[in-house]
Amino acid sequence: KFTEDFEYPTMEMWREAVVQSLKGLPFEKLLTKTYENITIQPMYSQEVMATLPHTASIPGSGGYVRGTHPLGYLQKLWHVSQELPYAAPAEVNSAAKHDLQRGQTELHIVLDAATRAGKDADRAPTDQVGRGGTSISCLPDVTTLLDHIDLPATSIFVQAGTQGLPLLALFAAYLKEHNVPRDTMQGCIGSDPLGVLVQEGELAHLTSWYDQLAVTTRWATQHAPRLQTILVQGNPYREAGGSAVQELAFTLATGVAYIRELQHRGLSIDEIAPRMRFSFAIGSDFFMEVAKFRTARLLWAQIVNAFGGSEDAQKMAIHARTCRWNKTVFDPYVNMLRVTVEALAAVLGGCDSLHISPFDEIIRHPDEFSRRIARNVHIILREESNLYRLVDPAGGSWYVEQLTGEVGQQAWRLFQQIESEGGMLNALKAGIPQRQVQAVANQRRKHLSTRKDRIVGTNMYPNLVEKKVERRPFDHQAFQALRREQLTTVRKTAAPDRWIQFDPNRPIETGMEAVRNGATLGEFGTHLTAGGESITITPLGIHRGAEFYEELRQKVEAMPERPTVILLKMGAVKYHKARADFSRGFFEVGAFTVMDEHVFDSPEAAASAAVTSGAHIAVICSTDDQYPELVPPIAQSIKAEKPEMHVILAGYPKDQIETYNAAGVDEFIHVKANVYEILSHLVQTIAR
């Protein structure tokens, strides 16, 4: 009876109510265009569900859009897979033993540049040793790394680059040395040759890397069924400024490239697909990220099904890491808030493993405190928020389901474009993904420059009195000297005939024996067949969004005298306060010194104060209605007395721009102004 008394509101009725509340503004004012070229609506309805076939699926089936397990995290929790990026194996071991007892569930090893390049620490360029991760060159390094870690009970994750085969031989040799059954090995020692190519811009002997990928995959299928050997990284595309759709499409295309290459080498789809782990960055657009993870599983299931894969092979294993692109050096504690929201999106999207960045990740190696704070976010999401008790909580949301469908359509269209170019490798050679990512990155930079996009603490609400986080520089030369000493001992005790039994047709089994007799990772390169073309492409321009603002601020902070601004606040508070507050925030983005102690009641007093203040810049703050009486006399007086002083007007009165320019106004600052360009120009001019 209650429901009969009220008319059921239609979408038209809701739209009319919205239009009325806008008080004359068009409904389209509420539409938001994303970097994925998707228009976010202000309202969604149940009717859309009928047009989305995936909404009929249930968790654990039907394309796995709702997750690969019927009971979600109740059946299998996501791995707490925090990266331990320390240079020395002993330091990684110490952190791992500590963190594995306090919530971490997967030992996540990030390799240094030398190891990723297949070079031993004592024979690599100094700046590569210890850069970006852990130095691993020999079996004693692995022994140190894994000391007192219960490997059968601990998943491991090694981002191997192109070095999957020698690293797998090293880890397998460790298991044999310690009488640990190799079929207990779980996790991922994953090679990603195209990921290396797109980041480095060059890769020699691609055919050989594919050959080795086939060897490791076949070996794991036979001897370590819970170990993944293929890593497909979408992170680089996102961390170069790309969109969620681009990241997803290019990752899928890379995965397909690996399937085809391994099938060509005799492996079946049901042998290949379960050995794959996909890695995605988590951006700051919360619902877009939830939709991305859901649709990634759906599209991958379709792809594997098209290759003839079983239902089990269609399951996508997803690793997620919070994106570096939006993290900041200044006010870094805001990074804690950023990663919490991003981690929540990944969990709601159904990731299988997750790295949450410590707040100081981009500044220095994280310490025990920052690691603990990041690790605790997992625990809060799992235990305090009880997210593990929910199965696909975003499922059924009209907004999320439609967004899932739209992300899928856009990503599939781009994936097909890459396929039409002959696959991912040909597309990279032609520079197609790189140009598309760069176009979005340019758009992001433009929006950051004008503060259409905001980074709190950097281009909005900067904290100029913050206590800087100590950087702790890393001494590569001293570390290489230590590694050289360690490896000298290894080489002295190595068996001279350590490679005599090596069989290129059985490289892992015979490689295990070689490393047990003292062979190093770098020596594998001379004993494995090298073949195939050497490829050079335009690499992705990986960067952080805040970098150009940070460089500007650091330049200003290093100046003998910072640019100084005097705010000429005219008349009553109601006339000047809004624009004075705006102006202070505008110039503090560049770490300018702002003087705003006085309020002026006449143009003469304001101009006199500006000239005698010692400031480089004077900003007139009042209302557009007051400006005709204030701006010309103030600007003319300042320019007459001190022509080098920059006169700026807070606001942009369109009808008076030429008049005010003629009076001596140099620049106008307002909500649509290009903050970065204006501040950069002022810094360059003042520094002369």
Separation CA 407–CA 291 (nearest Å): 7
pLDDT > 70: what percent of the chain? 99
User: Is 80 exceeded by the pLDDT of residue 392?
Assistant: yes
Contact 145/136 with Cβ under 8 angstroms? yes
Cα-trace Rg, the chain: 29
DSSP string, 284-297: S-HHHHHHHHHHHH
The residue type at 489: T
Q: How far is CA 86 from the centre of its chain?
A: 20
Residue 109 pairs in a beta bridge with 84, 158
pLDDT at 135: 98
Phi, psi of 219 (to 5 degrees): -65, -45
Contact 514/498 with Cβ under 8 angstroms? yes
CATH topology of domain 51-430: TIM Barrel (3.20.20)
Tell me the per-residue pLDDT of 94-147, one tens digit each, with 9 for 90 and over.
Answer: 999 999 999 999 999 999 999 999 999 999 999 999 999 999 999 999 999 999
Tell me the per-residue pLDDT of 623-661, one tens digit each, with 9 for 90 and over.
Answer: 999 999 999 999 999 999 999 999 999 999 999 999 999
Q: What is the mean pLDDT of residues 379-397?
A: 95
Separation CA 624–CA 656 (nearest Å): 9
pLDDT at 2: 59
The residue type at 74: L
Contact 330/463 with Cβ under 8 angstroms? yes
Neighbours of 104 (CB within 10 A): 21
pTM: 0.94
**Cα dihedral: 92, 97, 99, 102 (round 10):** 180
Nearest to 228 by CA among 174, 164, 162: 164
Helix (H) or strand (E) holding 535: strand 535-536
pLDDT at 7: 78
Tell me the per-residue pLDDT of 299-312, one tens digit each, with 9 for 90 and over.
Answer: 999 999 999 999 99
Contact 420/254 with Cβ under 8 angstroms? no
pLDDT at 12: 87
Residues in CB range of 541: below 8 A, 6 or more apart: 240, 241, 438, 441
Structure tokens that stand for 375 in this block:
């690790």
The residue assigned the tokens 């004077």 is 618
pLDDT at 38: 97
pLDDT at 305: 98
Residues in CB range of 685: below 8 A, 6 or more apart: 646
Q: What is the mean pLDDT of residues 361-383?
A: 97
Mean predicted lDDT score pLDDT of the chain: 96
The residue assigned the tokens 């999957």 is 164
pLDDT at 262: 98
User: Is 80 exceeded by the pLDDT of residue 526?
Assistant: yes
The CA-atom distances, in angstroms, between 326 and each of 109, 448, 545 are: 23, 11, 6
pLDDT at 471: 92
pLDDT > 90: what percent of the chain? 91
Contact 116/196 with Cβ under 8 angstroms? yes
Tell me the per-residue pLDDT of 527-562, one tens digit each, with 9 for 90 and over.
Answer: 887 777 789 999 999 999 999 999 999 999 999 999
Contact 477/372 with Cβ under 8 angstroms? no
Q: How would residue 51 be classed by pLDDT, with cut points 50, 70 and 90?
A: confident
CATH topology of domain 547-687: Rossmann fold (3.40.50)
| Domain residue spans of the chain | 51-430, 547-687
Structure tokens that stand for 546 in this block:
């805040």
Separation CA 616–CA 566 (nearest Å): 8
User: Is 80 exceeded by the pLDDT of residue 352?
Assistant: yes
Q: What is the mean pLDDT of residues 219-230?
A: 98
Q: How would residue 56 be classed by pLDDT, with cut points 50, 70 and 90?
A: confident
Instruction: State the pairing for strand pair 155-161/186-191.
Output: parallel
Helix (H) or strand (E) holding 563: none
Q: What is the mean pLDDT of residues 14-18?
A: 87
Classify each residue of 232-247 as buried b or exposed e, where b means 16 or more C-beta atoms within 10 Å of its C-beta.
bbbbbbbbbbbbbbbb
pLDDT at 525: 86
Nearest to 88 by CA among 43, 145, 50, 48: 145
Structure tokens that stand for 418 in this block:
């890459």
Structure tokens that stand for 669 in this block:
């600052």
Q: What is the mean pLDDT of residues 460-485?
A: 95
Q: What is the mean pLDDT of residues 500-506?
A: 90
User: Is 70 exceeded by the pLDDT of residue 474?
Assistant: yes
Neighbours of 633 (CB within 10 A): 15
Q: How would residue 398 be classed by pLDDT, with cut points 50, 70 and 90?
A: very high
Any idea what DSSP says for residue 241?
Answer: T
pLDDT at 10: 85
Count of alpha carbons within 13 angstroms of residue 183, beta-carbon side: 4
